[in-house]
Structure 1
Amino acid sequence: MIAECIGCGCTDMCACVSEDGPCYWLRVDYSRGEGVCSCCSERVAEWDAEIGRKSIDDQFIELMDALDGYDSPEAISQRLAELQGPIRELAAACRQTVLFNRAQVEFQSTKTDIELRPMEGGSLFAVWYLLMDRIARSPTKFHMRSSVRILLPLVADFLPEDPNA
């Protein structure tokens, strides 16, 4: 199904074009065939209120706040395990994005690499560190947001089933 922006009516096949280039989805639900494009950011609050959930960006900010003050690999891994409910929920939202679906080759390659190589601090810390590194090295806000959407599901994949593990 092709989604249409609730603001301007653009679609996957016919994007808006501004001085910054073509638009991209800020929110999209292909099952409903609707979304909010980057040229209609003023409609995001309306979208979020209608579906009753926070944006990926807002959820990630809350996650970062919940990790504030945890410095060592062990402490970070333990805290991530304690926060697995919100992390899994956020990862599920990330997995629904077009960006995540288009990055499957990178996602699978990175997952395999982490599974095959023992890393200092363990796999969960390694993937969290990778996400933080990608965000820190991002040249633009778009790249930062993309890093979260592509790599946070990988963090969820490496969470232990038992938060006390």
Structure 2
Amino acid sequence: MKLRDQMTELFNRFGDVEVVTRDMLVAQADMIRDIGAKCRETGLFKHSQEQFDEFVAAIEADTPAEDRLVQSWTWLMNRIVQAPTSLHMNGAIVLTMPIVERYLPEETGPGLIVIPECDAYAPVGCMALKEIVSERQQWPEGATCATQEADGEVLYWDAPVEAVIEGRHKGVKDGMISHIGIKHQVDAWYADDDKLQLARDWITAVVTPEQINFS
């Protein structure tokens, strides 16, 4: 896959959100590392090592360690938006994605992501949450929407969708129940107990029955 196509896929995985969080970036660590590796192999990067080092020095001088991942992503987005041509945009990606990669947490195993302050995790797959939920071919009575936990469990809620969307943005580290309340959970389901996986958009996705394809 070409570098630009990979970046497009990365943006698609984040979905339509106003802010990309640290947890969202960590969830896509494998793709970010792959993109970063390709960037470092380009002639542009190899001939711009001094500029890259200056970028890193600037971030590390002004930004606390825990904020550098998000700051480097914000820096990249600003450079893409301000790029006058597609050539400049590609250059911004090549020089900045390795910085984003630099501040990812250390890997803990192939294909695994780490959710801060959370011991349970599952591999991130290529399916969207609505596709995973569609595989069940049924929708619990009274449920307004569904989300996914860090261990791959799909939770169904009877709370207003707007409330669940708000809770989804807060519930990555400590789970949705702490934000929505156990009284609003009407069902739970694992797509495959033997091969658990996270949806590519699990951090942001809130699936409603209208989105499900019941064949």
Scaled by the length of structure 2, the TM-score of the pair is 0.48
The CA RMSD over aligned residues, in Å, is 1.9
Amino acid at match of 2:115: N
Unaligned runs of 5+ in 1: 1-53
Q: Which structure shows the bigger proportion of residues in helix conformation?
A: 1
CA drift at 1:118: 2.3
2:13 corresponds to: 66
- Counterpart of 2:82 (choices 137, 148, 151) is 137
Alignment of 1:15-164 (within 5 A): 54-72=1-19, 76-118=21-63, 122-161=67-106, 163-164=114-115
Amino acid at match of 1:115: E
Determine the C-alpha separation between the residues in 1 that align with 2:9 and 2:92: 16
CA drift at 1:160: 1.4
Amino acid at match of 1:151: T
Amino acid at match of 1:80: L
For structure 1, which segment, 60-69 or 87-96, has the greater mean C-alpha deviation from structure 2 after superposition?
A: 60-69
CA drift at 1:68: 2.1
Decide whether the 8 Å contact of 1:70 with 1:76 is kept in 2: no
Decide whether the 8 Å contact of 1:95 with 1:153 is kept in 2: yes
**Cα deviation 1:23-44 (Å, max 9, x = unaligned):** xxxxxxxxxxxxxxxxxxxxxx
Decide whether the 8 Å contact of 1:134 with 1:144 is kept in 2: yes
**Cα deviation 1:39-78 (Å, max 9, x = unaligned):** xxxxxxxxxxxxxxx0011001101111123334xx5211
Decide whether the 8 Å contact of 1:67 with 1:76 is kept in 2: no
Amino acid at match of 1:127: S
Instruction: Tell me the number of residue pairs that the alignment of Structure 1 and Structure 2 aligns.
Output: 110
Unaligned runs of 5+ in 2: 108-113, 117-215
**Cα deviation 1:108-143 (Å, max 9, x = unaligned):** 111111112126x81111100010000000000100
Extract structure 1 runs of 4+ deviating beyond 4 A: none
Bigger-Rg structure (1/2) = 2
Determine the C-alpha separation between the residues in 2 that align with 1:123 and 1:65: 23
